[in-house]
Structure 1
């Protein structure tokens, strides 16, 4: 059981925002999500994503109030990372196979 799912840990509002946002991403990018909780980058497991978002307190830190705002925030973070790793100097810092999958 993930921390986000433990009774009394996350508020119902935060759970709803996180769950809906994660589900929207999964529907939008189904090939990026895997069933295994031990999947490797660039793939995601929806439960691990939900738990990471909760554990990092993304909703609180960024004042997000809706699933759409959380999805928009995640997409912006993804764009930032994409630009960072498209820089030739940063290609040397990551595994070539993982980079090709991510791009």
Structure 2
């Protein structure tokens, strides 16, 4: 699911539970460009981040795991946006 910072849906996809969400990013790079995507830790991948940026100028921002080398705290602003979107999506599906 892709929403803007106000929680308005722009794109979504249904897939079986055994399909990882990261597969959806291949479709996103075809349909979006020059934007910021905030994802969860399941999207941590330097290769994926570079591919999205090089192909569509999409900046994929993902919070680091605390045990990662060179750990940097995730931006509070991005965390607030992500929380707003998570709350909105939870309301839509329950």
> Per the shorter chain, which TM-score range?
under 0.3
TM-score when scaled to structure 1? 0.22
**Structure with the largest fraction of helix:** 1
Larger radius of gyration: 1
